Homo-oligomer: A and B are copies of this chain.
Amino acid sequence: MAVYTHLTAAELAEFVGQYDVGALRSAKGIAEGISNSNWLIETAHSGASRRFIMTVFEARTEAADLPFFLHLLDHLADAGQPVPRTIHTSDGGQMITVRGKPAALIEFLPGVSIDEPDAQQAHAVGVALADLHLATRDFSPTRTSTLSIPTCIAMLRTYADRFDEIDPELAQILPDCGAGLLDEWPDALPEGTIHADLFPDNVLFVDGVVTGMIDFYFACTGTLAFDVAVTHAAWSFAPTDGAFRPEIAKALMSGYQTHRSLSDAERAALPILAQAACLRFVATRVEDWFATPADGLVRRKDPMEFARRLAFYRERGEAPFA
């Protein structure tokens, strides 16, 4: 949520000059995305003003993965999905190098992300997620997640003896760092390309309509119902007090199934998948917690937020998905 790479005006102009988008007119560093540097770029092209997002990928994004992410954006945009299309350089490339780091220019999409969705918005995001799953059935590139559940369990084990520094409840919620989830792991569920991080900040709306799904930099090949579970865990709790919002969960599930039906096996797996989704966010937040000084300057995301959601899903079984 910051601009990590500082670029001079000359570097920005050189960057934009590699694309056939007109002359640079404005570049504002924006507080978007968690770990990359982003600018809202404006150009003048044949008298018209055009806007783009320029991203410089920082260390957390593997350069080798970028072709997957960028091809996915174009594939989805070609299929009419509300995702930003990549802009290609004058010689056809999707990626360039800025200060030795990979960088890309993508479409700017209108819309505002919602903090506390209403049922109509939750329904719309459910539909959009199903459409994303359907539109990638013919997307052949694959990418293995770097945050598989065994990896997340291993990440947590590194810090297990320091859980009390975060909250004494954490160790109680996560006996054996959540490894028990693997025993109940469902197999043979439908796979495909998943967003894997469709939080409210990554969805743009105008008048209740989804105008953008953004930040595909965790997208990977995976279990489609896991993506539903991630989205369920990310949207169905009040941002203020963390209370479960059944009407939002219901609207999300109903929206998704308007365009893609979940099989009985997928439905049955949702309670475990939702716990796994929570575990994934607990794991990265625990890691960030111990990597970030507690001086109040950088807001560390609280690992307990998703630990409590994990406990909720464990206790409530299939009810939250009805």
Contacts and interface: CB of A to CB of B under 8 A. Distances in A.
Interface stretch (A96-104, A246-254, A293-301): A293-301
Contact of A297 (B29, B111, B293): B293
Interface in A6-54: 8-10, 12-13, 23-32, 40, 42, 44
A66 to B, nearest CB: 22
Interface string A279-316: 00000000000000101011000000000000000000
B29 A115 contact: no
A30 B30 contact: yes
Interface string A190-209: 00000000000000111100
A95 interface: no
A297 to B, nearest CB: 6
Contact of A295 (B27, B28, B44, B295): B295
A160 interface: no
A8 B297 contact: no
Contacts of A27: 112
Contact of A30 (B13, B40, B298): B40
A116 interface: yes
A302 to B, nearest CB: 15
A110 B42 contact: yes
A26 B110 contact: yes
A257 interface: no
B25 A111 contact: yes
A142 interface: no
Contacts of A108: 26
A87 interface: no
A2 B30 contact: no
Nearest to A114: B9
A44 B206 CA distance: 11
Contacts of A89: none
A3 interface: yes
Pairs A-B, 7 closest by C-beta atoms: A29-B31, A8-B115, A25-B110, A28-B30, A9-B112, A9-B114, A3-B31
Given A8-B116, A25-B110, A26-B112, 6 more contacts: A8-B115, A23-B207, A24-B112, A28-B30, A293-B295, A295-B295
29 contacts: A2-B31, A3-B31, A8-B114, A8-B116, A9-B114, A9-B115, A9-B205, A10-B115, A10-B116, A13-B112, A24-B112, A25-B110, A25-B112, A25-B206, A26-B108, A26-B111, A26-B112, A26-B204, A28-B28, A28-B30, A28-B40, A29-B30, A29-B31, A30-B31, A30-B40, A40-B40, A293-B295, A295-B295, A297-B297
